[in-house]
Structure 1
């Protein structure tokens, strides 16, 4: 409790100082203010979810009660409108959202850099994420089970990191985003055919509301 309270106090002070310099500051500047404080969290910046929610909540506010469902309803609608026809699926699970992004659309074989023709799709994703900033994001990379296990783990992590890098370049705050490469560990269908393996090669963006 003492550490969490200190985090919130430090972040509040940081944001006030940033505000004194300018009454309106950009998402980039806000992200820098948050980033200056998150180092106080013990362990990795992507570690304790509770501490992370406190840090983000202090910066952008948190949701409570009926506001959570309404906020996620509106975000789901905005994502579906922006991503219609893109090949990206928007999946709702309670008050959480998941974007399923086929890897074969996003990356060349054995590569982790996003194909340039997919930039507009990720720009649309970033636009909605900026508009609905009271959320945490986990970007998860997945592969099929062909090839060496460790290679697939490394590739899936690199692809998740590549998506994070692109989104932060579009002014989605880095503190809101975690990445994880799972390799072949979590297939959505058995790897028994090429069609199934294609489904398992994917990147998912999990979107979770920040609640009080």
Structure 2
């Protein structure tokens, strides 16, 4: 009986690993629009956990999959390409049926040490991004602020929220509807680079934006799919 249980357990584990590997390879090898269409089939929660990251996981968890998801993915492809063109230094990724944008020291939308003030260069780049967000109105925007590890944890949490708030307020001033935006600060809890170096600290002082389909875009995509 014990041997049977062990064999059953081994087969279950092997089967689970095959599903994970197949899902990851399928996603890695697919094109962007196919990822939009297929992500729901692969299992949003599982893949989101494997990829990691707050915005990445949220975007994958929000995917609806199927033909409608593919139509949404096609729209996101167009939007992501435009963002890459106007802010070439930003890290723009297509994740699931959405877009993840990372503004760090390479993008020109970054922050000085202990500051949440937007520079003239940051405002100029956000002007360009705001125009694209207005061109594609049927999306929700998730704004996340981050800091380096220097200083008090509680202070950094507050500072990161101020940075995300500063970007949200500027986008609103340029005509992006505030109802589309949600804002959260993560302090120093989600670094992307090594905080033991000055270069890594500068890169970690950043704001990330997730772009996801809103209810209107989802309903329109479902109508087209039918």
TM-score in terms of structure 2 length: 0.61
Question: 1:100 touches 1:204 (CA, 8 Å); kept in 2?
Answer: yes
Shift of 1:131: 0.6
Shift of 1:118: 2.0
Other-structure match for 2:115: 111
Other-structure match for 2:213: 209
Q: How does 1:99-178 map to 2 (within 5 A)?
A: 99-102=101-104, 105=108, 106-178=110-182
Whether 1:187 aligns to 2:191 is: yes
Other-structure match for 1:91: 93
* CA–CA separation in structure 1 for the residues paired with 2:150 and 2:81: 36
Q: Where does structure 2 lack aligned partners over 5 or more consecutive residues?
A: 1-57, 220-226
Out of 65-74 and 189-198, give the one that drifted further.
189-198
Looking at CA atoms only, which structure, 1 or 2, has the larger radius of gyration?
Answer: 2
* CA–CA separation in structure 1 for the residues paired with 2:189 and 2:111: 20
Structure 2 CA distance for partners of 1:150 and 1:103, relative to 1, 3 Å: farther
Question: 1:108 touches 1:115 (CA, 8 Å); kept in 2?
Answer: no
Structure 2 CA distance for partners of 1:153 and 1:74, relative to 1, 3 Å: same
* CA–CA separation in structure 2 for the residues paired with 1:168 and 1:103: 23
Q: 1:200 aligns with which of 181, 204, 212?
A: 204
* CA–CA separation in structure 1 for the residues paired with 2:69 and 2:188: 37
Shift of 1:103: 5.5
* CA–CA separation in structure 2 for the residues paired with 1:191 and 1:119: 26
Structure richer in helix, relative to its length: 2
* CA–CA separation in structure 1 for the residues paired with 2:140 and 2:146: 20
Other-structure match for 2:82: 78
Q: Determine which structure has greater relative contact order: mean sequence separation of CA pairs < 8 Å that are 6+ residues apart, divided by chain length.
A: 1
Shift of 1:167: 0.2
Alignment partner of 1:191: what SS? coil
TM-score in terms of structure 1 length: 0.65
Question: 2:111 touches 2:206 (CA, 8 Å); kept in 1?
Answer: no
Alignment partner of 2:68: what SS? coil
Q: Where does structure 1 lack aligned partners over 5 or more consecutive residues?
A: 1-48, 54-62
* CA–CA separation in structure 1 for the residues paired with 2:193 and 2:105: 15
Other-structure match for 2:51: none
Other-structure match for 1:22: none
